[in-house]
Structure 1
Amino acid sequence: MALGEGSALLIGELSERTGVSARLLRYYEQQGLLRSARAANGYRHYAVEDVEKVRRIRSLLNVGLPLRTVELLLPCVVDASPRVIPCENLVATLRQEVARLDEASNEIDRCRTLILDILHRSGADELVGASTGS
């Protein structure tokens, strides 16, 4: 990206357009998800296309994918929608993530059952119905 062509955004502008804090944008850059050019004054300059890239990063993170997986899948995601392009290992990576989420969900269910059992045995059944909506 060449600086001074009007196509570069400062970090504050990228933050404003995406709703992502400058601190988080710097973190994404540190993790290799974003790249910036540096001006002589040290300011970061991002491409206008990085607005959509940051939106894709946020979308992937918002569905529960870890950063390492986002890095792998980022080139496969067309835009902030769920549309994807064919990408090597995409299906295998997503299946691994579904398995990881299933394990986490099972653990949450196990913990919830344990807590409800403790409440039941403590005679606090009235709290159980109020907190679970039953």
Structure 2
Amino acid sequence: MDTDGAESIPIQTLNTSTSNTTTTTSPGHPEELSTITLLLVSGEKAKFQVSLTSTIISFKQHIYENWPDNFPERPGQLNSLRLVYLGKFLDDSASLDHCKIPHTDNTIIHLNIMKQPIGELRGVVPSKASETAPKCSCIIQ
């Protein structure tokens, strides 16, 4: 706990260069990192420092490779992770900046861990029972 009673959360850093505090997009122009708090439905939190020019997929890869100790067991596949900001799922190919993530240090992004990755859901074959089941219903009042 901090002196003000707030819980202290360790911060992990994602950089596009070898530096631990800044990334460089052009010579002499260091890029600032923003601190993003990931929040699970269960209430667990983890903080990551990230360049807003990073793509969502690279941020998810960093989360997956540096899985926080206070989170539940890491899922088996990277595509089980979904990031949600302001009620919208973030597109893997977009940058954090393109998703309008602010340049502040108090941004919260929700991390949704799917039990079955999206790719596996597309191949689900309906059972024979669903073929013979009635497709409609009536409500009599």
Instruction: With a CA cutoff of 8 Å and minimum separation of 6, indicate the structure with the bigger relative contact order.
Output: 2
Higher-Rg member (1/2): 1
Q: TM-score, normalised by structure 2?
A: 0.22
Q: TM-score, normalised by structure 1?
A: 0.23
Query: As a proportion of its length, which structure holds more helix?
Result: 1
